[in-house]
Amino acid sequence: MIRLLKSLVLLGICLFLLLAGGCATVPLNQPKSHSQAITDTADTHFSKLANSWADLHDQKSGFFPLVQGMDALGVTSKAEKSIDLQYFLMKDDSAGLVIMNTLLEAADRGVRVRFLLDDIFTSATDEDLSLINQHPNIEVRLFNPISRRGMHYLNFAGDFRQANRRMHNKTFTVDNAISIVGGRNLADEYFQLKEGSVFSDFDILAFGPIAQEISASFDAYWNHTLAVPVEQVLKHEDFESVETVRSSISDETDDIFASIYQRALDSELLQDLISGKQVLFVADARVMSDDPDKLVNKVGEGEHMQLATELDALLRDAKREVVFITPYYVPGDDGVQYLRDLVSRGLRVVLVTNSLRSNNHVATHSGYARYRKDVIDAGAELYEARAYAGREAQGGEGPEALTMHTKLTLIDRRYVLVGSLNLDPRAIELNSEFGLLIDSEEMAGIFATGLDDTITALAYRVAKDDKGRLEWRGIVNGVETIETSEPQASRWRRFKAWFMKIVPESQL
């Protein structure tokens, strides 16, 4: 036993020395340029439309829901002066390559491109990021980057306290006049390009004066100390020239780029926007975004948790109904009490989240599952998305599985909050988030009515039977069904959900 203890102590010392000696950090005090959104865009196509729109609608903005990711991509084709993108991740897949080609084409036309990416889950290669950064009209910055020196995972673990804080914001603005915000990341599953699984997501196209507020939020993050120019992060390697790598990418992706990008350009919505024919929702709106200092200050410090704080104020003023649509939901005891308080004031509270089978983060589902009965007892209506609902709706021809990734809050059928915020500890306390609050009874009413009409076809109602056990009630292929355990989930997936209960709730 003594020999075993000595061996374990020795192993612990070796691991500590390896971690201490192997971790490296990115210096954040290196010089970088300061830049702001280009405001001199009055002569651009979208600015002319936006200014005409504002004059006709008492300086209000226009909004339109984007269900298809391709509609967002096509907007870049009309960029004339600037494109500002801020995203949580971009993958090394077809969507990532198409987006890079799209940005390069815009830059070739003289458009200034600023691209801000959170570093931790971005799998786009350093070589590709270096490629587009070499273009004189494109600048790439990585937010809160992990050092490329030594071992990546050791660097993350060695600087865990800071590396665990991530920028989850997603905004995309063209010519300071038109923006797209919501939940999508830059990867195949968000653009309906993956056959096996698809993310059901939601963005809002924002047109007019509100785009300038979104630009201001982008500028705050772009110029923050945690936003590091990509050339200060990447390993000092001799990457191939722009022309060589670009030619290689072009040869590899010509067919993909042509077909995917053409679908975006052919979008009826895009064409109607370009021509000014699209009827938009007219509304006042405001940006509700966390301060980037949230990621360098003490966890849970309310001063910089602006989005959660402002949402709390809205909910406390709610009079009759609140609908939360969130892919990842871990309320904790305080969150359950919050629901109980809303219901006690006479509000109808509806919660829609993922089932175990539709959730792509099993650990998060484990954290949520322990609160299901408490949420029901609090008086909320609880629904879980059915993984195969899309396939059933298309007669068995749809994707193998569907993950609900929409992040939307509806308050009193008047306010619509869309953005990146999940209702879990990570989003509220650890990460930074972006939200856009739209004051539109017309839009909120249409969304709420549509949800009431379709929710039984897309989700299970989670309830308790007479003995207090959970049951899932839904309509599957037109037949009323009651399940008594995690529906459509395999035994292996259920085991993983049970095992992942070991993950600390604060990290979910």
Selecting among 45, 60, 81, 170, the annotated active-site residue is: 170
> Which residues lie closer than 8 Å to 466 by C-beta, 6 or more apart?
none
Residue 304 falls in the annotated catalytic set: no
Q: Is 118 in contact with 87 (CB distance < 8 Å)?
A: yes
Query: Catalytic: which of 71, 175, 201, 424?
Result: 175
The residue among 181, 177, 176 whose CA lies nearest residue 219 is 176
Task: Report d(CA 231, CA 134) in Å as an integer.
Answer: 9
State the catalytic residue, choosing from 45, 81, 224, 405.
405
DSSP one-letter string for 144-178:
SPPP-SS-HHHHHHHTHHHHT--B---EEEETTTE
Is 57 catalytic? The answer is no
Q: Per the residue annotation, which of 168, 224, 294, 304 is the catalytic one?
A: 168
Give whole-number Cα distances, 120 to 146, 152, 193, 208, 493, in Å: 7, 10, 23, 33, 25
Q: Which two tokens stand for residue 47?
A: 């600015």
SS3 state at 118? strand
Which has the closest alpha carbon to 328: 465, 433, 413, 412? Answer: 433
Q: CA 107, CA 109: separation in Å to the nearest integer? A: 5
Please pick, among 201, 290, 412, 424, the residue that the annotation labels catalytic. Answer: 412
At position 263, the amino acid (one-letter code) is R
In the residue annotation, 412 being an active-site residue is answered as yes
- Total residues belonging to the chain: 508
Residue 45 is among the residues annotated as catalytic for this protein = no
Active-site choice (60, 81, 294, 407): 407
Cite the active site residues. 168, 170, 175, 405, 407, 412
